[in-house]
Chains A and B, each alone.
Chain A
């Protein structure tokens, strides 16, 4: 293969027209040859900027050097020192604004494809049966972790490696958090990728008890008083969906993105052999412009609908990753930008028959520098549709904070915790991930889990 040092080795993808009709993974990843070629592009900087850009500080030049040598096992071991979920991160991290955003190669040409290399190494390790090793002396202390998303899994894995007796409590019937209920199969395969990474955490000795809602069956107080835990890490995410509070939002055929995605991902509604139903709309309007909106839109598309994304700002402000927007467009999603719903229209049976939209223009930049959209009077029009998916963001669920005395939360219902060790206003209670930051990213949630594991270790030592 001829290697252009300025350009990434291209990654193979499923053809857009084919993948628009299936739930198979979009990106096919590098093979050995492609990975080794790409690894040649790494300059192995003395002072690697990419590592600074990584919230869990993976030794990126270190593992890439091993890929160059063809020692994938050692490459996997280097990543494993810093990340418990590399096959996940290699697929869903916003590398362009993290490691790859800082890559020196990126100044003149394209940055090294760090994410795809990470994915290659993690997939290779899984396919070749490489398991994480534990050799810590057992400690006589018990830690409870609430929530099995990336933050909880990371914290639990790190603590287990230090020798603690760790139990994760998960409200749903399956471990993984957003990785199993939110992010679709075509971006993050569940059985192939998520499940084995959860298994790896179990292999470290972490117990996972599903179907337990903390704040209901069990409270944080009872974890300490009745179940003998010495510390608790809250990683319950930010799962509470927002609605717009416009007329017609109660109509049949209006879903939160969470409901739509949960039915399809966690409950596998797209598969014939699962019982959970999902409304396959004919024409679907997704309201919102974030990653979640892209996932909902691309899922609806695969279920057979014509899909419109309605977003109130312009393309430049779309909060979704550029790669996701690009993929969505390739697949045929229609973007109705600078537009905002004012009402959902119902037919006489209470079913969605359309949505009334007003056009917007960008006004002056606000404090955050984003230009806020303002309505254009008289520009309202209607789109006919049978399904509306609201994807307006989520906030932390108050179930735990409202049942735990002395746990400080802020105006946005987020739990207040120290960034460097996860400590909260309650002794022995630590918190991190989306529950603290509000909806953010997998890798930031993992970083918080790591920090809290160190904080808990210090607290218990």
Chain B
């Protein structure tokens, strides 16, 4: 089970793995994720499904190397196997279960940043297959950190807008500059789906919401079981406690408490945050928690 078909580096620190997972490949939908335990002593790590093939019974995951666990995953080669993969977990993207005729009346704007590019892919692929109109904006630091360009071109063609923070490739600027331009051009969007680092999602959501667009973001808090059993993934949405693993991971951006979530996440994900945690947790025998999207 969970035998690896292919494993490659997409850029310096992002790896993509295709592996057998018959039950998951059969039933997963865009927006859902899996929990991977690479070997007996590894953590359970949530990873968004970035592609699936129902016939070949495989799914694809994409992971950024930020620590021990993602390093372990990235070091897997063709022919190896994960100890455990559970899924599909979480709710599919909203459009998957809506009346397709209604969905086809809308124009979607997908926004992906950095590693968040990968989970956008199954969503645009689904839209393409179901005849749903969309544009997709992908932002990354520079040309070197860009991933999945060919795949996006193939699916989105002229609806694919690429921007780099440093201007080393295509458009220069962050995703919101492109969003502003597209909106200023008079393009109309009904729904925006933004996936990426918290700070990017916060600003993308601000831009989209200001333009009156219904906006969805994909939250990625720490998780353990992924089935609603531990509450590690809880966050405030619309003043209520939600569990990202069962109620999400996608939520209405207008209701998400970004600053609260960011505070939680910054501590786990950034260098400073980890150093802080280390000091705080004192004799914790392992590094601080981290979560890789």
Point out residues on A near B: beta carbons under 8 Å.
171-173, 181, 210-213, 216-218, 239-241, 243, 245, 249-250, 252, 255-256, 258-259, 262-263, 267-269, 272-280, 282, 304, 349-351, 386, 397, 399
Contacts and interface: CB of A to CB of B under 8 A. Distances in A.
B61 to A, nearest CB: 15
A267 B42 CA distance: 8
A277 to B, nearest CB: 4
Interface in B57-84: 68-69, 72, 83-84
10 contacts: A171-B227, A216-B27, A217-B26, A239-B228, A241-B229, A250-B241, A256-B230, A267-B224, A275-B69, A350-B263
A256 B225 contact: no
Contacts of B68: 275
B229 A240 contact: yes
A217 B87 contact: yes
A244 to B, nearest CB: 10
Contacts of A172: 86, 225, 227
Interface in B215-262: 224-225, 227-232, 234-236, 241, 246, 260
A239 B280 CA distance: 30
A250 B227 contact: no
B44 A240 contact: no
A304 B225 contact: no
Nearest to A261: B230
A250 B87 contact: no
Contact of A212 (B23, B225, B230): B23
A241 B228 CA distance: 8
Contacts of B289: 277
Given A273-B41, A275-B286, A397 B84 contact: no
B131 interface: no
Given A216-B88, A256-B232, A350-B267, 19 more contacts: A171-B225, A211-B85, A216-B27, A240-B228, A241-B230, A243-B231, A245-B241, A252-B263, A255-B232, A258-B230, A259-B231, A262-B224, A262-B225, A275-B72, A277-B43, A279-B281, A280-B283, A351-B280, A399-B228
Contacts of B86: 171-173, 211-213
Interface residues of B, number: 47
Contacts of A268: 41
A243 B228 CA distance: 13
Nearest to B261: A250
B234 A217 contact: no
B287 interface: yes
Contact of B264 (A210, A241, A250, A397): A250
Complex A-B, nearest 5 residue pairs according to Cβ-Cβ distance, in ascending order: A259-B230, A173-B84, A256-B231, A239-B229, A350-B263
B273 to A, nearest CB: 9
A181 B23 CA distance: 24
A208 to B, nearest CB: 13
B95 to A, nearest CB: 19
Contacts of B285: 272, 277, 280
Contact of B84 (A210, A277, A278): A210
A330 B252 CA distance: 50
A258 B235 contact: no
A386 B289 CA distance: 16
Nearest to B289: A277
A282 B282 contact: yes
Contacts of A263: 224
A216 B31 CA distance: 13
B284 A278 contact: yes
Contacts of B230: 241, 256, 258-259, 262
A399 B246 contact: yes
Interface string B31-44: 00000010001111
B122 interface: no
B197 interface: no
Contacts of A269: 286
Contacts of B264: 250, 252, 350
B156 interface: no
A279 B283 CA distance: 9
A217 B241 CA distance: 25
A258 B87 contact: no
A275 B42 contact: yes
Nearest to A242: B231
A276 B223 CA distance: 11
Contacts of B234: 243, 250
Contacts of A218: 23, 27
A250 B282 contact: no
A247 B285 CA distance: 30
Nearest to B26: A217
A279 B279 CA distance: 12
Nearest to B273: A349
Q: Which of A217, A243, A276, A304 has the most CB of B within 10 A?
A: A217
B173 interface: no
Task: Name the residue among A277, A304, A349 with the largest chain B CB count within 10 angstroms.
Answer: A277
Contacts of A245: 241
